[in-house]
A and B are shown apart, each in its own frame.
Chain A
Amino acid sequence: MNSIPKPPNLAEIGFYIFVKGLPRTLILTVLGLLGGFVIGLSLAIMRVYGGKELNWLASGYEKLFRGIPILVLIFLFAIYLTNLYEICIGDTCFGIEPQYRPLFGVFLALALRSGAYQSQIFRGALLSVNPGQEEAARALGMSRFQALRTILLPQALRLAVPSWSNEYAVVIKDSSFALTVGIVEMTNAALQISSNFVELWAVSIGVVAIIYFLLTYPITRLFGERQTKKLKELGMGGG
């Protein structure tokens, strides 16, 4: 390392973190939330409408993935289980390319964990829809499934929005753990700057903290209290 490069200024730091790190932060957050949504909604429906056995299965899943720290899950799926991400039949294999397996592993860890928490969110939302709604739907002749799809889910999903915006904030923050397995997301980008320019350690951490805050606070504010107020106005929930 011969020439000493010029330390970046505040704007350059922010720009670097944004351009280098934001893409992977977003990919992990979005995919993690989506995966968690599919898992969580299915589990919630299993718990509210399933029998004893389905309930037991879903509850077991929740307990398992709420009890293991996200970092442990990430190590597990992004380092130790990566060989599983490929199915080989004879000579032909298909699966995730080796260089993307850590990313896929982090996505799995985030989705599995988020699914456990989103299950609670949607279960609560389904249960807080006014029970009379389902009664009226069935009285019209709708099957349980139709009632769920046309009357209950639309209301439950709206009721779930405040808690769900909170879950978004959790997942985007958890995505920073991906740096432990070498994925360059925002926090890692900040650490790269600080490892190059030791005097900028505090500054780069500060900048990335602000970026995370800007990505979480407006959303939780927008979809939190304001949404709860709007829902009360529409008379949903309170069942």
Chain B
Amino acid sequence: MGKSVLRIVDVWKSYGELEVLKGVSFELMEQEVKVIFGPSGSGKSTLLRCINMLDPPDQGEVYLSEQNLMEPGINLNIMRANIGMVFQHFNLFAHLRAINNVSIGLRRVKGVSKEEARSKALKALNQVKMAEWADHYPAQLSGGQQQRIGIARALVMEPDVILFDEPTSALDPELIGEVLQIMLELAKTGTTMIVVTHEMGFARAVASEMLFLGNGVIVERGTPQHFFVSPKSDRVKTFLKQLDILYGSHKGLLKLSKEEEDK
């Protein structure tokens, strides 16, 4: 599969008295897509923020391409430029047009020239099929459109890995599809991704591994087949059943090819 992109070793995180992460470990290789799912409050968002050190873990290690992010004296800003993030509430910069939202990271963090940044940004916008909306402000766009721009913003930085924090949870149902479609295409073109989501259809289609996070620990892990055919723990079984009741499946929205449907 290639080299190690992320290595999380025994990460612990508490907020005051509350222990949110209790010894989480996994490794992410190049071109892998890991899907993390589980009940809310299980620490999924916290885990992502530990990975890009926005909220560093109390204990444990985080390695990005074998570079220890917990080392003192390390320039975390430069490291963070190599970890992309897509947020549940999009977090687009409200005062900037779409094109500038995408290009500002290149200009300010990577020091790319204005023209080059603009052309790269346009390419990224094309990739997420938002090029005609380049001059619009976020407030003028639907949730799905905003999220796609958020993905472009992360993509354009050419990061080693992109973290997705429940990217479709805040979207109206009809808009979820367009975002999942883009994420599918990204996964298929070999982008290294960690996706926290309830979208099991997506997971089934592209996840290399799925991790069930409950109460701060990885309760169960395995391939999508493992989970959808014969999950071990009862907790996981209950959870999956509830998901199916609530969300149904999104086969139609995902426009999966016939082979994938029959997987």
Contacts and interface: CB of A to CB of B under 8 A. Distances in A.
8 contacts: A130-B94, A132-B89, A139-B52, A140-B153, A141-B81, A141-B109, A141-B110, A151-B93
Nearest to B104: A150
Contacts of A155: 94-95
B137 A234 contact: yes
B108 to A, nearest CB: 6
Given A141-B157, A234-B137, A135 B91 contact: yes
B243 interface: no
A140 B137 CA distance: 19
Residue in A142, A146, A158 with the greatest tally of chain B CB atoms within 10 Å: A142
Interface size class of B (residues with CB under 8 A): 20 to 34
Which range contains the number of A residues in contact with the other chain? Answer: 20 to 34
A42 interface: no
Q: Which 5 A-B pairs have the closest CB atoms?
A: A141-B81, A235-B139, A136-B91, A132-B91, A140-B105
Chain A at the B interface: SS class: helix
Given A139-B80, A158-B95, A132 B87 contact: yes
Contacts of B105: 140-142
A143 interface: yes
A186 B59 CA distance: 67
Interface string B80-113: 1111110101011111000000001100111000
B77 interface: yes
Contact of B139 (A136, A140, A154, A233): A233
A236 B80 contact: no
A146 B251 CA distance: 43
Given A141-B105, A142-B77, A235-B138, A136 B95 contact: no
A233 B141 CA distance: 12
A221 to B, nearest CB: 24
A24 interface: no
A135 B87 contact: yes
